[in-house]
Each structure stands twice: as C-alpha cells, then as structure tokens.
Structure 1
Amino acid sequence: MFKTTLAVALVAVLPLSSAAHEFWIDPQDPGPNAGDTLVADFRVGDLLAGSSLPWLDTMVAEALHHPPEGPPVPLSSLLGDRPALSVDLTTEGLHRITTVTHPAYVTFDSLAAFEEYLDYEGLDLKPDDHVARGPAPMAISEEYIRNARTLVSAGTLERGSADTPTGLEHELVVTGHPFEPGAEWVEVTLLWQGRPVPDASVALIRALPGQEGTRRILRTDARGAVTVPLGGPGGYLLNAVRIVPVDGPGAVRRRSHWASLFFELSR
C-alpha cells in the first residue's frame, strides 16, 4: 500500500489508506446543555470507528469554537491531552468546532495503490497525470491537510438557527441545521475557498447506535449541494477531498485538502 509521515511520531496513527483515513472531531456528549463543558476527541478511522488522537501542537494548526453569537474563540490544550478538546458551551444554540491540521505527507508505493485511493474517494482524476508530475516514474507523493468541522446543539435551538461558513479553505456547510425534530433530510454545500463546488464527490458515512457504519458516495449538484438523508439517531460524517498541483517540498507535486463535517443525532 502506501505510507505516511508527519512532523512528529504521529505517523503510525494517521494512515491515509482505503481503511482508516477519515478524520473528525467527535464530541463525547451528543446532547449537551447550555453551560456544559463539552469534551471532544480527534478521531481517525473508518466508518465512524477509530482511534482517538492526543493534542499535538505539531498536528493542530488551528482549532476554534464558533458560538451561536460573537467571534470565534481559539481552543488549545496541553501537549498530549486526550480528549484533545474542551469547549465551554456558555449559551444555548448551534455551536461549531473547527480544526485545521498542519500538512502531513504520503508516498504511494505503487500506481495501483494511488488508483485505489482515487477510486475510493470518487475522484475523477487521471492517475497518469499525477504520476507524470513526479521527478521519477513512480514518485507519487502527496501533501495533505485536514479541515474538520463538528456541529453541536446545546439546549433548544431558536427558529432560524443555521450553520454558516467558518472560513476554512475547504468546508462542508449545512443549510439550516440537522437537529430539527422530525427532519428527514438536510442539504449540505461543499465550499472551496468560499465558493460552491459543483459535480464533486462527497462521502457520507453513517453509524447507527451499536451498529457498524455504512458509506456511500454522493455527488454535488450545480449549486455545490448534496441531500443527506436523516434516518434517526447516530453519527453522521461527510468527507470530501480536493487535490491541487503544487511544487515541493521534495517529490511532492500535489496537495489534498480534506473537508469533514460531523454531527450526531440523539433522537
């Protein structure tokens, strides 16, 4: 397959393969109240099952709490803290937690492994074009950055509460919010540098309580949106990958930007 490296010895727990490669922010309480302190894990895994990661300054480029009103609040933890995040939910409403990682790197051992990665993510790219950008025939190296968002409902949401973009370079944003009682679906828009991305793949991973997760690929429409069915309680994770050409460092000739959106329904 292929191997990854990070600026620290986190390498072994941040794989980027068809198994265990989603990264998300996982709150420990799916239904907090206003005034609670919410703790959340960084997780890497597959089908919403995976290992928690500690807070590492060399991994986290930025972590922010976006409360229902007011400016975002920077989040930080002590080196090695697990759970990695602690967030004070001082007011009722829709809270957003975002994290951007420092770049990490992957080198694919074969063209077949690279093709498997593209196919798994639903990326309509020509592998030969990416291989040709390397200094050697099989130098398929990639830099990747994670852009993770989580939505949390604290207490009762007022009418008109809605998710909004948080300024991540690559992000998935809900139209309205997914916590409306009785809602059967929600619309989610994929943004790149603040603009909707049409005809792009978005993976939807869903895990019912006590069951293994399932995964399907959705495709954004002309407005950059996908419709996400809401089928009751459990975790919902959306993931999208965008690959852009870059020069360096070393053999790296491409950068992938990973956008994830997680929320959990308790009803």
Structure 2
Amino acid sequence: MTHLSFRSTLTILLFLFCSPGFTHEAWLEPFEYHLKKSSQVRGHIRVGQMFSGSTQLYIKDKFKRFESIHQGKERKVKGRLGDLPAIKHTLRKKGLHTLVYQSTGSIISYPNWEKFQSFTTNEGVEWAQQAHLDRGLPKEDFKESFVRYAKSLVTWKGNQGSDSVTDMPFEIVALNNPYLDHVSTLKVKVLWQGQPYEDGQLTIFKKAKDIATERSILLLDERGTAEVPLTQGFSYLLNSVLMEPIDGGKNTPVWRSHWASMTFEIPPQTK
C-alpha cells in the first residue's frame, strides 16, 4: 500500500470511528477493571447511549488529557495514531488507579427544536430551553460545542487507594472506594470549576452479562453529592451534563455542553 493510499484509508477510518453525531455519553471501558496478573490495562473509549456505543481511535488531537493517576502521581496514556483499542497502558503500582480522559471541543448542529428539547430534558438541563428562547436564539439550525471528561476506576493486585480531584473543569469524584469489602454504596461529588454542581442530575447505568442495561437518575444535593447503590456483578457508568451559554452566532456555537462520566465494576461475590 502506498503512503498516500494509507493516509487516505486512515482518514476514512478516523471519520467513521470519530464522527460524534448528536452528543451522547462518552466513557472509558476497560476490558478488565481488576487486573490480577498482567499490569497492562486495555480498553476502549466509547461514545453512545445506555452503556453501549461505538469505539474511538487513539488520536492525540482529540484529547487534552489522557493519563492514569495513582496516589497523586500522573502518567500519560501513550499510543499511536489510530490505535484500537485506544487504551493500552501499564500500571506500575499495586492498588487503585484512576484513568482520566479530557477531550478537545467538538461541534454539532441542531436541525430542529425537538432535538434540543429531547436532549436537555433527558439530561436534566431543561432550563436551557427557556434560556435559549429568552436569548432570542433560533429554534433550528443552531450549533453547540461539547467537551467530555471521563474517568474509570481500575485496580492491579489489590483494591487499596482512592480517587481524587483531577482539576478537570467538570468531573465526578468518588468520595469512597467502591472496591473495598462491605461497601454497599458509592458516594460521589460532581464539581464544576472546582465548585459543587448543586441540584444537577446524575444518571446511572448498570449492566451485567445477559441482563439488560438499567438506567436510573439521582439528583445531586446542594453539595453536589449523591449516593449510588451498588450491586455485585455489575459494571457502572455514571454520567452528568452541564450546559454553559456562550456568545455565538449563526455559524458559531451558542451553547457548550460538558459531559462528565465515571466507570467501575463491582465483582460478583466469590464463594
């Protein structure tokens, strides 16, 4: 294959794998959340709905941060352009690690008002509908930019450790370790610019083999916190969305949505 045809093929693949369509959840999905032998965590960046979605390639231009954090120390998740799976990262210390991914901005267009209504209602930010009208913005053919902030809790040869604030603009922080024995709930805090995302919505997806994905909603309190019930044998995706009005025009975005997610897996009970 010539160099030119290789680049053309890669360009087509990047478009197929990375075109966002309408904004959906984005998350990190390791093949194994709990590594026993090999210290290399492998997995996908996914975009979709109901904890099911398309895989994304490793493309440096698509992210601002991609790293693992263990006891406050950060290590970049490295890769080559077009790698799939996008996560191939060796953990160097035993215990709990947080994988962190922050995307660059992308833009979508809303062809009609119904799409915007459906999205904002589903994500608990329906206040944006009236705010949109109050700003005198059009009800069709307007643009929105969006940024994604994803975290995943993984372990290697032990469960000790904790999640931490990563200083991403919008993020979900685990306030306790869901992998410790006798833990039945995970308390989380959602932060926007370092402050509690009070009264926001936290959407919870849980799935297990041969069981349909379940979706539920919790409302964050004035401290931006919520407590998530845990079930053994299930993997979880937590998601929260924040809408930010921005100055724009016909050809530039008038909204910016921020998407925070966190994934983890509660192993089945061992006999």
After TM superposition, is the score higher than 0.5? yes
CA contact under 8 A between 2:58 and 2:86: conserved in structure 1? yes
Structure 1 position 73, deviation (Å): 1.0
Q: 2: CA distance between counterparts of 1:233 and 1:94?
A: 18
CA contact under 8 A between 2:113 and 2:139: conserved in structure 1? no
Whether 1:96 aligns to 2:102 is no
**Distance of aligned partners of 1:41 and 1:264 in 2 relative to their CA distance in 1, 3 Å threshold:** same
Write the deviation string for residues 42-72 of structure 1: whole angstroms up to 9, x where unpaired: 01122212221111223222201112x3521
Structure 1 position 197, deviation (Å): 1.5
CA contact under 8 A between 1:40 and 1:84: conserved in structure 2? yes
CA contact under 8 A between 1:63 and 1:100: conserved in structure 2? yes
The residue matched to 2:210 in structure 1 has which SS? Answer: coil
Structure 1 position 230, deviation (Å): 0.2
Q: 2: CA distance between counterparts of 1:47 and 1:214?
A: 8
Write the deviation string for residues 163-212 of structure 1: whole angstroms up to 9, x where unpaired: 11111110001111111223211101101111111111111111122222
The residue matched to 1:149 in structure 2 has which SS? Answer: strand
Aligned residues: 254
- The two structures, once aligned, show a CA RMSD in angstroms of 2.0
Q: Among 135, 140, 143, which residue is 2:142 paired with?
A: 140
Q: TM-score, normalised on structure 2?
A: 0.87
Rg larger for = 2
Alignment of 1:105-184 (within 5 A): 105-131=107-133, 133=135, 136-158=138-160, 161-184=161-184
Alignment of 1:1-267 (within 5 A): 9=15, 13-16=19-22, 21-33=24-36, 36-67=39-70, 69-131=71-133, 133=135, 136-158=138-160, 161-248=161-248, 250-267=251-268
Q: TM-score, normalised on structure 1?
A: 0.88
**Distance of aligned partners of 1:137 and 1:185 in 2 relative to their CA distance in 1, 3 Å threshold:** closer
Structure 1 position 140, deviation (Å): 2.9
CA contact under 8 A between 1:111 and 1:127: conserved in structure 2? no
Structure 1 position 136, deviation (Å): 4.1
CA contact under 8 A between 1:134 and 1:251: conserved in structure 2? no
CA contact under 8 A between 1:13 and 1:44: conserved in structure 2? no
**Distance of aligned partners of 1:29 and 1:189 in 2 relative to their CA distance in 1, 3 Å threshold:** same
**Distance of aligned partners of 1:228 and 1:108 in 2 relative to their CA distance in 1, 3 Å threshold:** same
Aligned-residue sequence identity (percent) comes to: 27
- Structure 2 gaps of 5+ residues are 1-13
Q: 1: CA distance between counterparts of 2:126 and 2:212?
A: 28
Q: Which runs of 4+ in 1 moved over 3 A?
A: 10-13, 131-137
Q: 2: CA distance between counterparts of 1:214 and 1:64?
A: 29
Determine which structure has the larger helix proportion and give its number.
2
